[in-house]
Structure 1
Amino acid sequence: MKYSQATNYALHTMLYFVALPVGKTIGVQRLAEVQKLSPTYLSKILTRLVKAGLIESTPGINGGYRLTRNKADLSFLDVIHAIEGTASLFHCDDGLDHQTCLIQEVMLNAENVMENYLKERKLVELAEKNSGLPQVLSALEQEAS
């Protein structure tokens, strides 16, 4: 199983948001620079995160993006669903009804176990463990001030 590169970038981006102090914003340009990404590409990812209600865009001189939800509640699964959607990873294509496909049943059970794990894992756990994140955030906060 493989997630898209957009999911990889979205998870890393959300880690920066979770590590920021509550109410602080950060611009797409700065986020793109820190991650060595195209601002245009990152903007598309941020748009999906906004549509999912994980972040919001704030206009103005000190504008940018910020979290809309409690950082302690944000799970890996929230971000993955925002980028990848919620469709099942596997679909039985043997011509049988999906209800009677035994392979589909096994795959769905495995997917449910994985999703439950990702739902329980919170981004804030990594933000607290990442020793390099404070230095990057300190620089970001100084620029945002």
Structure 2
Amino acid sequence: MRYSKATDYALHTMMFLAAATPRTTIGVQQLAERQHVSPTYLSKILTKLVKAGMIESTTGVNGGYRLKRDWENISFLDIIHAIEGSASLFDCSLDHGPECLIQRVVTAAEEKMETYLREQKLADLAKELNLMH
């Protein structure tokens, strides 16, 4: 399975915002330069994160993006769903329904992965990152 580059940039951007100072506003240009990506492309990703309620944007001279007040509860799964959506990774082409043994195995694996990603909180990783520096 593979997540898109957009998800990679979203996860890194959220970590950067959390590790900086969560209530500090950071401009799209600085966020884009940090990841060597175009500001236009990153803006589209940031728009999805704003719509998902994870970050907020401010306009003006000191405008940019910052985490919302309850950012400590954001999980990796929340970020992934904001970018990729929440559709299942596997869709049985034979449409056997719930009795399909293959569908059952893949669905169970996907549920375990989602549980793990849901447990990985942005705040916990930001603390770990700050301890490393």
Matched-pair contact (CA < 8 Å) for 2:19–2:129 = no
Structure 1 residue aligned with 2:52: 52
Matched-pair contact (CA < 8 Å) for 1:15–1:123 = yes
Runs of 4+ more than 4 Å apart: 131-134
Structure 1 position 117 matched with structure 2 position 109 = no
**Secondary structure of the corresponding residue to residue 66 of structure 1:** strand
In 2, Cα distance between the equivalents of 1:42 and 1:79? Answer: 14
Mapping 1:63-82, distance limit 5 Å: 63-82=63-82
Structure 2 residue aligned with 1:14: 14
**Secondary structure of the corresponding residue to residue 31 of structure 1:** helix
Per-residue deviation, 1:131: 5.5
Give me the CA root mean square deviation.
1.8
**Gap change, CA 1:132 and 1:63, over 3 Å in 2:** farther
Structure 2 residue aligned with 1:137: none
CA-to-aligned-CA distance 1:24-81 (integer Å, 9 cap, x gap)? 1111011001111110111111011111111111122221111114232111001000
Q: Which runs of 5+ in 2 are unaligned?
A: none
The two structures have a TM-score, normalised by structure 2, of: 0.91
Matched-pair contact (CA < 8 Å) for 2:76–2:120 = yes
Q: Which runs of 5+ in 1 are unaligned?
A: 135-145
Percent of aligned pairs with the same amino acid: 59
Q: How many corresponding residue pairs?
A: 133
**Secondary structure of the corresponding residue to residue 110 of structure 2:** helix
